[in-house]
């Protein structure tokens, strides 16, 4: 079985957990039309401030409800946007006034958030945006809302990325010393994305090496993602809105990886987004990930009131219902050494093999390479035995049963989104 080389951060708990919740929350919850709304609609920082910062007051915010929903859905860790590209900070930072404690809400959100999730037994991480569309020293570039402003070039002359990079340094240092964190998720670099005469941004702009040195010094065990534009510094790799079909490799070596996915295409709360994934898609996304040795981080975008909307609760309950019956095939599991049969995905944990059946066949599943290797088979959802003792005379004649293990299934698919058969391998 594949095993990535170890890195500085502690990923042992992480690869065991397999399933986490991403939360994108900020001022963009008010317009409710994508967390990139400021960039897409080219809203000047002063207008954005006026319209949304002065109205941010999530009086229904109850992190205990969020944490409970995450735990019930089977998620073992959470990553929250402490600051997204808009630049608004969810904690009482010493380095800006553009923060929750200066908004009408007045109170810090991060401390209570972290306590609530820890209380439910989840590990906690923070997302930190390297991009900042509010900070006056952040040079205008391809994504900046002022990129098409007639004076953009002139405005840039007074902006100094060095000063901005110190801001990043100070804020990350502040987050790491103020809060107890398991993951730091920095986002993102785009050194090759030039626009007009404006260059993209990468390691030299963020001062990535200096940042990593500080992060490792303060929090040696923290898990750091791969978006600082530095090779070899990351603990985890983070494909976004795509599902890898095999174990993710970097320079030919398997790495610890985590796919991040949305329920509906947008990360921030998006009222009119209609592409919510179906129950089958949600469960298969999780299974496909673990079957390729990865983690899945599924995103929730809370409303500006501080609530999850009903579509979010529906999607979470899909995971809850399935995970209550099938979590053994996820936690502690990884890509199997065996090849999955047709229309199935395999995960494995030691001598337990889990067959996830995507399309219910008529009566039989043929497990190639497993003939004679299985001592017992059962469904996870109800513990009922699945018959492996079927050396039917016609199969004997065909010599099939020696290489191939045959499972005999009920005609009707069990009433769960994706049924799972647990196989115990002989010692």
Chain residues that interact with ligand GLC, rule: CB under 6 A: 24, 35-36, 187-188, 240, 260, 267
Contact 124, 184 (CB under 8 A): no
Which among 330, 413, 424 has a CA at the least distance from the CA of 370? 424
CB of 122 to ligand GLC, least distance (A): 19
Task: State which residue, 34 or 71, has the beta carbon closest to ligand GLC.
Answer: 34
Closest residue to ligand GLC in the complex (CB): 240
Task: State which residue, 79 or 386, has the beta carbon closest to ligand GLC.
Answer: 79
Contact 313, 70 (CB under 8 A): no
Instruction: State the CB neighbour count (10 A cutoff) for residue 96.
Output: 18
Task: State which residue, 36 or 354, has the beta carbon closest to ligand GLC.
Answer: 36
Residue 13 to residue 20: CA distance in whole angstroms: 12
Say which residues have a Cβ less than 8 Å from residue 169's Cβ, sequence separation at least 6: 207, 210, 211, 214
Task: State which residue, 152 or 297, has the beta carbon closest to ligand GLC.
Answer: 297
Residue 18 to residue 285: CA distance in whole angstroms: 12
Residue 345 to residue 141: CA distance in whole angstroms: 43
CB of 36 to ligand GLC, least distance (A): 6
Say which residues have a Cβ less than 8 Å from residue 181's Cβ, sequence separation at least 6: 124, 125, 126, 175, 219, 222
CB of 254 to ligand GLC, least distance (A): 21
Say which residues have a Cβ less than 8 Å from residue 256's Cβ, sequence separation at least 6: 4, 7, 11, 14, 15, 235, 236, 237, 295
Task: State which residue, 24 or 144, has the beta carbon closest to ligand GLC.
Answer: 24
CB of 260 to ligand GLC, least distance (A): 5
Task: State which residue, 92 or 187, has the beta carbon closest to ligand GLC.
Answer: 187
CB of 190 to ligand GLC, least distance (A): 9
């Amino acid at each position: 079985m594949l095993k990535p080389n170890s890195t500085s951060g502690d990923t042992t708990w992480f690869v065991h957990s397999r399933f986490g919740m991403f939360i994108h929350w900020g001022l963009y919850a008010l317009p409710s039309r994508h967390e990139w709304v400021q960039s897409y609609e080219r809203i000047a920082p002063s207008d954005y401030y006026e319209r949304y910062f002065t109205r941010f007051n999530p009086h229904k915010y109850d992190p205990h409800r969020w944490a409970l929903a995450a735990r019930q859905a089977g998620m073992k860790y959470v990553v929250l946007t402490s600051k997204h590209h808009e630049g608004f900070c969810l904690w009482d930072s010493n380095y800006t006034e553009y923060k929750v404690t200066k908004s009408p809400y007045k109170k810090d959100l991060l401390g209570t958030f972290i306590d609530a999730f820890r209380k439910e037994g989840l590990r906690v991480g923070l997302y930190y945006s390297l991009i900042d569309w509010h900070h006056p020293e952040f040079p205008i570039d391809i994504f900046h809302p002022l990129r098409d402003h007639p004076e953009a070039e002139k405005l840039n002359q007074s902006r100094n990325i060095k000063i901005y990079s110190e801001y990043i340094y100070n804020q990350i240092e502040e987050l790491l010393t103020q809060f107890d964190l398991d993951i730091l998720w920095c986002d993102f670099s785009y050194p090759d994305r030039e626009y007009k005469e404006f260059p993209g941004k990468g390691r030299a702009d963020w001062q990535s090496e200096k940042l990593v040195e500080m992060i490792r010094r303060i929090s040696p065990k923290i898990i750091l993602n791969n978006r600082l534009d530095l090779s070899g510094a990351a603990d985890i790799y983070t494909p976004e809105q795509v599902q890898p079909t095999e174990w993710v490799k970097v320079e030919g070596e398997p790495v610890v990886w985590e796919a991040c996915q949305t329920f509906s295409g947008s990360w921030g709360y998006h009222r009119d987004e209609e592409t919510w994934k179906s129950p089958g898609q949600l469960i298969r996304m999780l299974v496909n990930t673990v079957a390729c040795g990865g983690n899945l981080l599924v995103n929730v975008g809370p409303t500006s009131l501080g609530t999850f909307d009903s579509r979010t609760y529906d999607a979470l309950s899909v995971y809850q219902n399935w995970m209550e019956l099938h979590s053994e095939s996820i936690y502690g599991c990884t890509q199997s050494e065996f090849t999955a049969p047709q229309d199935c995905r395999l995960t494995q944990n030691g001598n337990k093999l889990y067959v996830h059946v995507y399309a219910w066949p008529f009566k039989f599943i043929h497990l190639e390479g497993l003939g004679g290797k299985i001592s017992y088979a059962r469904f996870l959802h109800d513990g009922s035995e699945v018959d492996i003792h079927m050396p039917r005379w016609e199969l004997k004649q065909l010599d099939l049963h020696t290489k191939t293990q045959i499972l005999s299934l009920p005609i009707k698919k069990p009433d769960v989104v994706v049924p799972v058969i647990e196989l115990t391998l002989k010692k």
